[in-house]
Amino acid sequence: MRLRRRVLRQIRHNRVGGSADCSVGRPSSSCHRLNRRSLIAAFTTVVVLAAVAFSLLPTAPPAVDVTTHTIVVDDVERLYHIALPHELPEIAPVVFAFHGMGDSPNSMATYSQLDRLASDHGFLLVYPTGLNAMWAAMDVDPETIDSNPDVRFFDALLEQIAAKYAIDDNRIYLTGMSNGASFVQILANARSAKISAVVACSGPRPRALNDARRPFPILLIVGDNDPAADLMQSDLEYYQAAGHDAELVIIPKLGHEWSIRHNADAWAFMADHQLSP
């Protein structure tokens, strides 16, 4: 009702705002122009206020059930969250989402809005939790990459997920933010035979990595105000030269943060790639 009263007040204001000549005798051409401007102004006001009102309507939560689980890897209890869409294919693709340094599955779910993406497109979404809120993506030794504690965590986690859910082994995807984005590139390098595609947001490739056993598709996303932008431009050139299907999206005026408006592009890239049976 308040919105309607504001619109009516604006229309009345526009109607009485013209010259007295418009209400006496034959209206002049200037009167017609005034009335036309008044109608346009009133219509514009209605559209703007309606848009504002629509934007304030509550958004339905994503149709997923979120649960927390544990798994013991090398005598260490590790945590992970699962976002299970209410509607899921009989054999579902799975996306593993790795948070940034200092983040958590809950905070990543909030800033990335990946739960809604999973709900909209029907994939199983897994949020692993890093030890001390970070991933082992620094001082990488290619010779000992199989013993990386977080690579081993992924191995055990994938085995447990596959035992509980009917997942598509040919559609296993990775995404990550910042430190998590650097780690998913380590993980894809180490487990390239199992990973269908990777989306790395605001996290460069660790320089110590060797070439992967199998080139994997990778989408790099970074803001042009992100300190990682130059490195990720170099990463694109490296990946393309090494035979990977690699793309780079640089987002104007974006800093070191996740871009929700590129979620659909990220999923389209992942969904377009799968391992050969």
For range 8-32, the mean pLDDT: 45
Segment 201-227, tens digit of pLDDT: 999 999 999 999 999 999 999 999 999
Answer whether 0.75 is exceeded by the pTM.
Answer: yes
**Chain-wide mean pLDDT for the chain?**
86
Question: From the CB of residue 136, how many other CB atoms can be counted at a distance below 10 Å?
Answer: 18
DSSP H or E segment with residue 217: none
How far, CA to CA in Å, does 73 sit from each of 92, 142, 153, 181, 216? 25, 21, 6, 22, 27
Backbone torsion region of residue 83, taken as left when φ is above 0, otherwise alpha when ψ lies between -120 and 50, otherwise beta:
beta
For range 39-55, the mean pLDDT: 50
At residue 52, the 3 state secondary structure works out as helix
pLDDT (0 to 100) of residue 38: 62
In angstroms, the CA 16 to CA 12 distance is 6
pLDDT (0 to 100) of residue 28: 52
Of residues 1, 4, 11, the one with CA closest to residue 41: 11
Q: Are strands 76-85 and 92-98 parallel, antiparallel or unpaired?
A: unpaired
pLDDT (0 to 100) of residue 139: 84
What ranges in 76-178 are assigned the alpha helix state H?
A: 105-112, 114-121, 149-164
Q: What is the largest CA-CA distance in the chain?
A: 94
pLDDT (0 to 100) of residue 57: 40
Question: Which one-letter DSSP state was computed for residue 123?
Answer: -
Q: Looking at the predicted structure, is the pLDDT value of residue 84 above 70?
A: yes
Pick 117 or 35 by higher pLDDT: 117
